[in-house]
Every structure is written in C-alpha cells, then in structure tokens.
Structure 1
Amino acid sequence: MIRMQPYDERLTAPRSWWFIAVLIGFGTALIMLPFGTLPMLGGLIAGAALACVAVSSYGSARVRVVAGSLVAGEARIPVSALGTAEVLDADEAAAWRSYKADPRAFMLLRSYVPTALRVEVTDPQDPTPYVYVSTRDPEGLAAALTAVRAETA
C-alpha cells in the first residue's frame, strides 16, 4: 500500500507586502524626523518591525491534512465530516468569495492566492454549508483529502 505524504502549505504573503512594510518604516522615520536623529531611527525600526509583524502574522496561515483532519488556519475539521471537494480556478474562486458566498461558510481566504478549494460539510449537526480554502495547489489538496478519506474508509 502506497502511503501519500500529508498535505502542508503555508499561505505566505507576497514579496511586495514585505516591501510595503519597509516603506511603512521609512514613512514612520520621516514622521519622526522633526524630533531628531535618534527618534527618526527609532521610528524607522519600530515602524518597520510592527509592519513586518503584521505581514508575518497575516501571511502565516497554514493549510494541512493531518491525522484524518483538514486543518485550515484555526479550524480543524475531520475528513469524515467533509463531502465532495470542488477545485476553483481564479474566476470561480472570485465568484465564491463574493456573490456566491454563503455567510455561514468557513472561509480561509487570502487575496493574494487566486485559486481555492471548496469542500462541502456533510455533518448534519454543523450549520456550516462548506469550507472555502485559498490554496496555491487546489488539486493537491483535493487529492490529499481523497487519499485520507480512502484510508479511513
């Protein structure tokens, strides 16, 4: 029996966001410039550091399939409670993020990841109709969910 490797992806922020974080540090330094050199350097360091922490925390979302569960950000959903998975290209993903979206759905979305996977929730006790997960490899995530489902069946 071939055992598939578990799926693990980190939805890191794009490089342009890091550049913007550095620009925020320079902007903070310019704001502090009238108060002197030392406050300007403090503003540069503090502004860049705070902006980098914000980018890092937002860009650290993980999507994993481990131990029979789909882990998307803070959510941990057993694969047994999930139904069919639908791979969404960029256009379909945009539609499911906007006018097709259900307010009851769990959505781990990142604007800088164009593709996604939508998975039905089949648990009758759960009011969540589906899980929407931004991913750079929706086919791989769907295959991992299918493999785990086949292993547990």
Structure 2
Amino acid sequence: MPVYRERLWPTPWIYIATLLLVPASILVLAPVSMPAGIITGIVLYGACIGVLSVTSPLIEISDGVLRAGRAEIPLSQTGHAVAAYDERARVETGTGLDARAFLVIRGWVKPVVRIPIEDPADPVPYWLVSSREANELAAAINGSRRPEHGESAD
C-alpha cells in the first residue's frame, strides 16, 4: 500500500480553456462546412482532454521507492526533502533551477518539493516535483527514508 500517492491532474480552468478549440474550429471551417467545424471542434477538444488526462504524472511513495512519472529512485538515495510554496517555488522553478535537475513539474501545480540525490554516481543533483500537497509529500519522503549505516531508526 502506498505511503503517498497523488496524480497531477490539470486544474478545471485548463479543461475550460481548451473548450476554445470548439469555436476556433467552427470559425476556421464554417466557410467550408458548419457541421465539419462542429465535429472537428468536438473531436479536438476530446483529444486534448484525453492527452491531458493520460499524461498526468503519478507521484507515489511505496516500498521504499519514490516514483515520479516514469522515473523511480530508492528513498535510501535521497536526502532531506523540502517543500516550496509561492515565491520560493517560483525561484525553484525559475532562477534557482539547476539545469541538471530531474523535473516532474506542471505549470498548473505551483508548489514543488526539492529532493536532493545523495548518490555520488548520479549526475542529477536533485529532483524537483510538483505537488498540490507539498508539505505532505516532503514529510512522506523524509519519514519513509531508510536509515543509513550507523544512523538509528528511532
């Protein structure tokens, strides 16, 4: 059973904004065929909704492993995770971003969690993961890490 699980679904306004495909298709195809414009708009909207839903990444912690999208890493190779909200999150995803970082971020989910990678052989310094519940994700990562050699599990 997962310790933490979250799917990064698009916010409702993304679904509403993509509705503009319907009138845009009608506008473009109306001179040719009004029914073709309506059908094309509906099909394009359905395709966009499908793509947005299918490509929404899953963030999960279970069995001592963090999974973010298609990537996974043992929690024993991670450092202390830190949640960032508002201005700090903007810095993390903008000017403070390391180009070598592994990213699972979505523009419609502002809070992020920075997860340092402790493996010296890994060229990635940290993972940056979007989460609507960033404090809970960071706590789940920090609480699920296995103790290192010489560290007590208390």
Report TM bin, short chain. Answer: 0.7 to 0.9
**Helix, strand or coil for the counterpart of 1:104?**
coil
For the pair 1:70 / 2:61, whether they are aligned, the reply is no
C-alpha separation between the residues in 1 aligned to 2:52 and 2:29?
A: 22
1:143 aligned onto 2:124 = no
Q: For this pair of structures, how many residues does the alignment match?
A: 149
Structure 1 distance, partners of 2:35, 2:2, is: 52
3-state SS of 2:145 partner: helix
- 1:43 paired residue number: 40
Moved more, 30-39 or 116-125: 30-39
2:31 is paired with a residue whose SS is helix
Q: What is the aligned counterpart of 2:25 among 24, 28, 31?
A: 28
Q: Any unmatched runs of 5+ in structure 2?
A: none
How far off is 1:72 after superposition?
A: 0.8
User: 1:57 Cα deviation (Å)?
Assistant: 3.6
RMSD of the alignment, in Å?
A: 2.0
Contact kept, 8 Å, 1:61 with 1:72, in 2: the verdict is yes
Match of residue 15, structure 1, among 12, 15, 18: 12
- Identify unmatched segments of 5+ residues in structure 1: none
Q: Which has the higher strand share?
A: 1
Tell me, yes or no, if the aligned pair for 2:7 and 2:57 is still in contact at 8 Å: yes
Please report the TM-score for the alignment, with normalisation by the length of structure 1: 0.87
**Residues 58-94 of structure 1, C-alpha deviations (whole Å, 9 max, x = no match):** 4x11111012111111110110110111121221111
Higher helix fraction (1 or 2): 1
Counterparts in 2 of 1:7 and 1:151: CA distance versus 1, 3 Å:
farther
Equivalence map 1:109-128=2 (5 Å): 109-128=105-124
Distance 2:133 2:85 in 1: 10
Secondary structure of the structure 1 residue equivalent to 2:92: helix
- C-alpha distance in 2 between matches for 1:150 and 1:78: 9
The answer as to whether partners of 2:89 and 2:111 remain within 8 angstroms in 1 is yes
Fraction of identical pairs, as percent = 30
User: C-alpha offsets along residues 102-144 of structure 1, whole Å, 9 cap, x if unaligned?
Assistant: 1111011111212111011000110100111111111211221
CA contact (8 A) 1:21 1:55 kept: no
User: Runs of at least 4 residues of structure 1 off by over 6 A?
Assistant: none
